[in-house]
Amino acid sequence: MKMNIKYPVAFHTVDMATTRTHNGRIQVLLAQKIKDTEGGKNVWRFPGGFIDPWDSCAEEAALREGMEESGMKFVESPDIDKHFALRAPLIKKVSALIEELADDDEINVVIKKIQKIKLTDSSLTWMRANVRYVGSTTIDDARYRDSIHKIITTLYELTPMPGFDKDGEGPFDDIARTKWFNLHEIKTEIMHPSHTVLFDMLFDKYKVKIQVNKMTDTLEKLGDDLKKGAHELFGHVDQFISDIKK
């Protein structure tokens, strides 16, 4: 059965802020699509995407998008791995039916099969405890700028497992590459315009740690400058003593 959306709708998406502590600094993983480097641009964004109708919850969608678009592993869970593996061929079937312009009823038969593949209660509990809510906001998505329909996204935060937190050269889904950034060094200018509001939310969450990280950088630079000055001073003293002995 075809559905005609009569009233304006806000489509729900998720974005993932993958964070870690590295050398005492808070870092965040940002992603870059091929189009983010076109025409002299060099902007970055949070990995993310639409919540699918078969997702158990928004946290599952965020975890799925985080894995698909970063290539990282966030949890050692046979149940979660099996869950996504069993759903994958059916999801591909849905995509194929859509490309074939199949009837909604035919597509819905497959969607119902996907929805029957459920996470265990323990896996859902883990997701809701570890896929951490940061905030939600409307997004100025260019695809919907002239549409009556809009986007509302929820930003979540998750920490990757040790050993899986590497920079990545894609492709990961539609992501060309990923890169870790020190959160306190990120300038708004490098963020994709539609994601600056998300960056501001994450920045606000870590504002105290960001100030500490900036202060640490300043003190370390001061220490390096003092060491360099002392080294140069001792060099002059050695030269002075050498000249006296001649």
User: pTM for the complete prediction?
Assistant: 0.83
- Is there a contact between 136 and 152 (Cβ–Cβ < 8 Å)? yes
Residue spans of beta strands (DSSP E) within 51-145:
132-139
pLDDT beneath 50: ranges in the chain: 1, 233-234, 236-237, 240
DSSP 54: T
In sequence order, the β-bridge partners of residue 50 are 13
- State the pLDDT at residue 174: 82
- State the pLDDT at residue 226: 59
- State the pLDDT at residue 1: 46
- State the pLDDT at residue 121: 94
- State the pLDDT at residue 221: 74
- State the pLDDT at residue 52: 94
Cβ partners under 8 Å of residue 155, min gap 6: 14, 15, 16, 17, 46, 133, 134, 135, 136, 137, 198, 201, 202
